[in-house]
Copies of this chain bind each other. A is one copy, B any other.
Amino acid sequence: MNIADCLEKIRQKKPLIHHITNWVTIYDCANITRAIGALPVMAHAKEEVEQMTSIADALVLNIGTLTIGLVESMVLAGRTANKKGIPVILDVVGAGATDFRTKKAKEILKKVKISVLKGNSSEIGTMAGVEAETKGVEAISVKGNLTEIAKNLAKMEKLTVVITGEEDIISNGIDTYICKNGHYMLGKFVGTGCMAASLIGAFSAVEKDYVYASTAALSCFGIAGELAAENAKGPGTYKINFFDEIFNLNSGSIGKMKKIEKIS
C-alpha cells in the first residue's frame, strides 16, 4: 500500500487505537486519532485495560506522566496486545531526564514485545545506551550518528525505531527511511511528539510493515504541518489549522508533497 492507500484504509476500517498515555496531551492524542479517521479510546484502570486492548487494533503507550500504577497497566495491556498480535507503539517521553523514566521505559520494553519504539534523539539515545541529555522532554544532545543508533537498536530489539526531529529517522534494522516533511512551527506548541505516536498507531493498525507504516504516518503528519502554516499567525492558529489539515489530507496533497528517502 502507498501512503494514500493506508490513509484510505484507516478511514474505511476505523481501527480502534487504545492509548495509555500522559495527562498533558491525552486530549490531543485522542483528537488526532479521530481527525485522521480512526477511533481513539483512552483507558488506564488495570481492571479494564486487558479487555479494552482485546477489542483494539493497536496499542499506544506513552510515559509522559508515568506512575508505578500506569506502568503496571501498560504491561497488562501490552501483553494482551502481544497475544492478539496487534501493534504496540511505545513513546519514551522524557527517557533520560530521570532515572525513573529510563528504568521504567526499559522495563516495559523488556516485558512487552514492542512494534515501534519512538522518541526524540536523546530519548532514543538513552534507550540505546549512548551518552545523551534530555532536559525535561526536550532533546539536548546525543553522542553518535543517529541513523546508526536507530539501525542498531532496531536490530538488537527486533523492532522499528523512530527518531523524531527536523528529519525523522525510521528503521527496522534492514529498511531505513528518512522523512523530511515537517515545519518548524510544529515545535512551537506542546504535544506534537505524542500526536505523532498516535498517528503511527493508526497507520500500524492497517499496515503490518511497521517501518513503512511509521514512515507514512510521519509523512502525513509533516505534510499537514506544512499546509497548516498558511494564514497561521502563531502557535494558536497554527495548531487549529494543523487539525484541519490532518482531517483534510488526501492522495493529491500526499503524492505531491511527500519527502521520503529510503537510505537502506
Using CB atoms and an 8 Å cutoff, list the residues of chain A in contact with chain B: 16, 18, 22-28, 30-31, 34-35, 39-45, 47-48, 51-52, 55-56, 64-68, 94, 97-101, 135-138, 188-191, 233-237, 239-248
Contact = CB atoms under 8 A, between A and B. Distances in A.
Given A27-B24, A31-B190, A188-B247, A98 B43 contact: yes
A183 B145 CA distance: 50
6 contacts: A24-B42, A31-B235, A41-B94, A43-B98, A55-B97, A234-B243
Contact of A100 (B47, B66, B189): B47
Contacts of A233: 241, 244, 248
B51 A65 contact: no
A136 B244 contact: no
A244 B236 contact: yes
B34 A188 contact: yes
Contacts of A41: 94, 97, 135-137
Contacts of A31: 189-191, 235
A32 to B, nearest CB: 9
A30 to B, nearest CB: 4
Contacts of A243: 189, 234-236, 239
Contact of A190 (B40, B188, B237, B245): B40
Given A35-B189, A40-B190, A190-B34, A48 B100 contact: yes
Given A45-B66, A47-B100, A240-B236, A190 B30 contact: yes
Nearest to A241: B236
Nearest to A64: B42
A96 to B, nearest CB: 10
A42 B65 contact: yes
Contacts of A244: 233-237
A113 B239 CA distance: 38
A136 B18 contact: yes
B234 A40 contact: no
A135 B30 CA distance: 14
A67 B94 contact: no
Nearest to A228: B236
A51 B99 contact: yes
